[in-house]
Chain A
Amino acid sequence: MDIAVRELSYAQAIQEAMAIAMDMDERVFLMGEDIGVYGGAFQVTGDLVERYGADRVIDTPISELGGAGVAVGAAVTGMRPIFEFQFSDFATLGMEQIVNQAAKMRFMLGGEVSVPLVMRFPAGSGTGAAAQHSQSLEAWLGHVPGLKVIQPATPHDAKGMLLAAVADPDPVMIFEHKLLYKMKGHVPEGHYTVPIGKAEIRREGRDLTIVATSIMVQKALDAAAALEGEGIDIEVVDLRTIRPIDRQTVIASVKKTSRLLCVYEAVKTLGIGAEVSAMVAESEAFDYLDAPIVRLGGAETPIPYNPDLEKATVPQVADIIAAARDLVKGVR
């Protein structure tokens, strides 16, 4: 008999994590645009303002640069801010504080301070929000030493990685795919953490390794399930963290399967797939490869409004199935 497991949505899991973090530590507080009575643009903060008050769930003016800087300043002087960018695209307005200040402050000051800052970025396409509200910019931040960048793909990890981020002494950037917010899954009660910097093998297989991030993990799993009937046995690695990247798990998997397919939503060129591919090509796994490495990423275009065009911009399950089949059958 199945024991009923508690299920939460990805958004609820994040909200629960933030509540636990605030219960555990007076220094933790939330900042962002319309995260108070409005509950956040995606209802992630929900009613937290009623439970924790406007002093700990702070609505900021529409000032991404200033707001990000205030969060940096609070973090460096003893608080533990969790800052929400309403859309990850708005990070472009706060880049100065993220890249020049948060990421570098500890280094520039020779280790005299830490910046225990968490920033949350609702990201990705699929909501019809068009070019300025649908981007996947995680690789931009993944390029900056001093930051940690994570992309939880399940409700379980969304909670556990956020709690790990709050406990982390350094700035952690969390990219949350907006289409995942409604995804339901098992989420344990109480406090637990999922380590930053550790990939997870979501499905074991022998024929091909798919390294996927964020929403592409579920799509890769769907593709793997569909290919099972064809006798193709796929391993799916959920990268989870793009900085620091889990080299070991990826390389070990490729050594086992001898084939690598990288799947990510962000624009293909210069994205995380390029990094994973290069990492494997430079490693001892290179000698094990039976086929060229393949990347499936976003098209070289801004995200369009038309729903069919929008879908065509990012990899879908059918694309993954086709690419995986070709790779295993030696077509590529």
Chain B
Amino acid sequence: MATARKAVADSRANLPFVYRHYSQEQLKQVLHKMYLIRRFEEGAEECYMRGLIHGTMHLSIGQEASAMGICMPLAEDDQITSTHRGHGHCIAKGAEVSRMFAEFFGKTTGYCKGRGGSMHIADVAKGNLGANGIVAGGIPIAVGAALSAKRMKTGKVVVSFFGDGANNEGAFHEALNMAAIWKLPVIFVCENNGYGMSTSTARSTAVKNIAERAAAYAMPGVIVNGNIFSEVAEASFKAVERARAGEGPTLIESKTYRHRGHSKSDRNRYRTKEEIEDWMANRDPITLFETELRDFGFIDDQGIQAIRDAVAKEIADGIEFAKASPAPEIATLEDYVYTEHA
């Protein structure tokens, strides 16, 4: 038995980080969650098209490995701040899709009781302090949460997700500077999908890589292929270790791509069809991870099918839950503006 285990360990020695570091069961869970994010967003999009969800939404389809990789080394009580493109972060941090769908449907059973919708999706119990409608809005808030963690000695680490667009906001620079001077346990994760709405990073950003911004704030700046789960998880793991050791913040640039437009109003005039198809066909993060898992013998076709089936059921059940949930009473309109005194 011991020999067999050693053989497995040896056979993993040359594999990428996550295959050495996490169990087969954990990695299968990752694939499960990556599918859950993808199918959740496809489900939300379909419900939107059918008029069941109003407003707008920003889909992260194509960025699943980034969300999962960053959250992989986080503990349940570690915290994140997220973005308008935050469905993946929310699921990766442990949210249930049923309550997310309920929120999108504007129901009282939703995470924000129907007050927040897609753009403010949160799950405070699982450490997600919320998506944010303001680009870079969550970055200083994450630094504040890290200040709390340091002052209260909770050992928590805080991750701030943001997009490439946020790197040109003042809040980004002010927040990184403060995190660095106070050596706070926070990790800045720039999911660079190439475009801030329609404006490419080449047109908007003076540096070639956003990770280069880290040098200005005396912190490590790390570039990872955001579509390769293991690469993202390894960078996150190191940054979490550094943060927990009291050594301060890290900036991770996770280079990725969104398959869909910016939001539902996007006419897609700024990207070529070829570019999008290339990313979808050759660099899909789920396909890449699933192929690795299969090639390395962590899962077989039957296992993959079982995951897909389980996810499909979870999504269908989630939508049913949302549909069946009650809508808020109009009389509750002003609830939650202030904290109700007992």
Contact with B along A52-81 (1 / 0, CB 8 A): 000100001101011111111111111101
A100 and B137 in contact (CB under 8 A), knowing A65-B170, A69-B144?
yes
Contact with A along B100-116 (1 / 0, CB 8 A): 00000000001111111
Is the pair B124, A107 in contact by a Cβ cutoff of 8 Å? no
Is the pair A69, B116 in contact by a Cβ cutoff of 8 Å? no
A100-126 contacts to B, CB under 8 A, are 100-101, 105-114
CB neighbours of B339 from chain A (8 A): 106, 111, 114, 169-170
A19-64 contacts to B, CB under 8 A, are 27, 29, 55, 60-61, 63
CB neighbours of A63 from chain B (8 A): 174, 177-178
CA distance A60 to B146 in the complex (A): 15
CB neighbours of A97 from chain B (8 A): 137, 140-141, 171
CB neighbours of B132 from chain A (8 A): 101
A153-177 contacts to B, CB under 8 A, are 169-170
CB neighbours of B340 from chain A (8 A): 111
B147-163 contacts to A, CB under 8 A, are 147-149, 151-152
Is the pair A110, B144 in contact by a Cβ cutoff of 8 Å? no
A145 and B143 in contact (CB under 8 A), knowing A61-B178, A65-B170, A110-B116?
no
CA distance A3 to B231 in the complex (A): 75
CA distance A97 to B133 in the complex (A): 12
Q: How far is the CB of B339 from chain A (nearest CB, A)?
A: 4
Query: Interface size class for chain B?
Result: 35 or more
Is the pair A69, B139 in contact by a Cβ cutoff of 8 Å? yes
Q: In the complex, which of the residues B134, B175, B341 contacts A101, with contact meaning CB atoms closer than 8 Å? A: B134
CA distance A78 to B124 in the complex (A): 13
CA distance A74 to B141 in the complex (A): 7
Is the pair B145, A109 in contact by a Cβ cutoff of 8 Å? no
Is the pair A108, B171 in contact by a Cβ cutoff of 8 Å? no
Q: In the complex, which of the residues B116, B147, B173, B335 contacts A70, with contact meaning CB atoms closer than 8 Å? A: B147
Smallest Cβ-Cβ distance to B170: which chain A residue: A65
CA distance A191 to B239 in the complex (A): 44
Is the pair A68, B140 in contact by a Cβ cutoff of 8 Å? yes
Q: Which of B139, B145, B177 has the most CB of A within 10 A?
A: B145
Q: How far is the CB of A188 from chain B (nearest CB, A)?
A: 24
Is the pair B134, A76 in contact by a Cβ cutoff of 8 Å? no
Is the pair B134, A96 in contact by a Cβ cutoff of 8 Å? yes
Query: Interface size class for chain A?
Result: 35 or more
Is the pair B115, A108 in contact by a Cβ cutoff of 8 Å? yes
Q: How far is the CB of B166 from chain A (nearest CB, A)?
A: 12
CA distance A55 to B147 in the complex (A): 10
CA distance A71 to B339 in the complex (A): 18
CA distance A60 to B152 in the complex (A): 19
Q: In the complex, which of the residues B115, B125, B141, B181 contacts A61, with contact meaning CB atoms closer than 8 Å? A: B181
Q: Which of A63, A69, A79 has the most CB of B within 10 A?
A: A69
CB neighbours of B177 from chain A (8 A): 61, 63, 66
Q: In the complex, which of the residues A61, A69, A79 contacts B148, with contact meaning CB atoms closer than 8 Å? A: A79
CA distance A81 to B130 in the complex (A): 20
Smallest Cβ-Cβ distance to B81: which chain A residue: A73
CA distance A290 to B272 in the complex (A): 71
A298 in contact (CB, < 8 A) = no
Q: How far is the CB of A108 from chain B (nearest CB, A)?
A: 4
B215 in contact (CB, < 8 A) = no
B129 in contact (CB, < 8 A) = yes
CB neighbours of A101 from chain B (8 A): 132, 134, 137, 141
Q: Which of A60, A111, A113, A145 has the most CB of B within 10 A?
A: A111
Q: How far is the CB of B185 from chain A (nearest CB, A)?
A: 12
A77 and B79 in contact (CB under 8 A), knowing A67-B178, A96-B137, A106-B336?
yes
Could you give 9 example pairs across A and B, Cβ below 8 Å? A60-B178, A66-B175, A69-B139, A71-B144, A77-B145, A96-B134, A108-B120, A112-B124, A112-B125
**Which residues of A line the B interface, CB within 8 A?**
27, 29, 55, 60-61, 63, 65-79, 81, 96-97, 100-101, 105-114, 145-146, 148, 169-170
- For the complex of A and B, list the 3 residue pairs with the smallest distance between their C-beta atoms, beginning with the closest: A73-B144, A69-B140, A66-B174
Not counting A111-B339, A146-B338, a sample of 10 additional A-B residue pairs whose C-beta atoms are within 8 angstroms of each other reads A63-B177, A66-B171, A69-B139, A74-B145, A81-B144, A96-B134, A109-B111, A109-B116, A169-B341, A170-B338
